[in-house]
Amino acid sequence: MEKNTLVKQIELSIADSCNSEPGHVFSAIDYAHIGELNTIHQIFSRLEKDGKIKRIMQGLYYVPKFSRLLQEYEEPSPHEIALAIARKNRWSVVPEGNTALNQMGLSAQVSAKWSYISSGPYADFTYKNVRIEFKHRTTKQISDMSYKTSLLIQALKSIGKDNISNDDLEKLSEKFTPEEKEKILEESRYITSWIYEKIKIICKRKEASNV
């Protein structure tokens, strides 16, 4: 494939990804199915010079968008950066603690630290005074379950057995479709008993929408 054609194809793929996932953060590995990694890195460098993409840190980029409301360019979310880092390194990751609560809509707290359990090594990254940390855990806690099952478990752990309210259970129930609830019940059967009891309550409630 000619390089100019490859550039166009990657630009279109980036645009599609950003349209379907606002705030999308990406690396060369996300487009490895289109061309060789070295060539994609060269194309990213060219697109960055042209102002079409912006570098976050080594190997990670996003498409800058100007906010008329804020009168400044929007920054990518730490969560999207974390997911891009994980894909780049081929790690399985799931938010934990306050990060899990944030992703499940149970906390609006803006944190300076975003935490994830990971199948990869312990690692820390910093972007714009925000720390993104990855804590190694056994793959059984991550890879043997779907992302949504693992995320729900981490959110429940963060709230704690004696602190989960009916309102929390209701909000969590609204995050999943009937199909997702069926899968969550199946995948979480052998986890800590109190967590599974809460999951059964969540999955028996009527659902509303996806995460």
| CATH code: domain of residue 18 | 1.10.10
pLDDT for the residue 123: 97
Q: Looking at the domain assignment, is residue 105 inside a domain?
A: yes
Model-wide pTM > 0.95? no
Q: What are the C-alpha distances in Å from 173 to residues 101, 149, 152?
A: 14, 12, 10
- At 19-34, the pLDDT tens digits run 777 789 999 999 999 9
> Residue 74's Cα: distance from chain center in Å?
18
d(CA 172, CA 203): 9
pLDDT for the residue 210: 46
pLDDT for the residue 109: 79
Strands (E), 10-104: 25-26, 54-57, 60-62, 66-67, 72-73, 93-95
Strands (E), 89-187: 93-95, 113-118, 123-127, 130-136
d(CA 29, CA 18): 16
> Quick one: 91 and 175 in the same domain?
yes
pLDDT for the residue 3: 66
Nearest alpha-carbon partner for 83 in 140, 128, 125: 125
Q: Are 187 and 179 in contact (CB under 8 A)?
A: no
Nearest alpha-carbon partner for 179 in 148, 154, 151: 148
Q: Which residues in the chain land under pLDDT 50?
A: 207-211
> Quick one: 191 and 165 in the same domain?
yes
> Quick one: 87 and 190 in the same domain?
yes
Domain housing 108: 78-204
d(CA 125, CA 134): 9
Look at the chain and report how many structural domains it folds into.
2
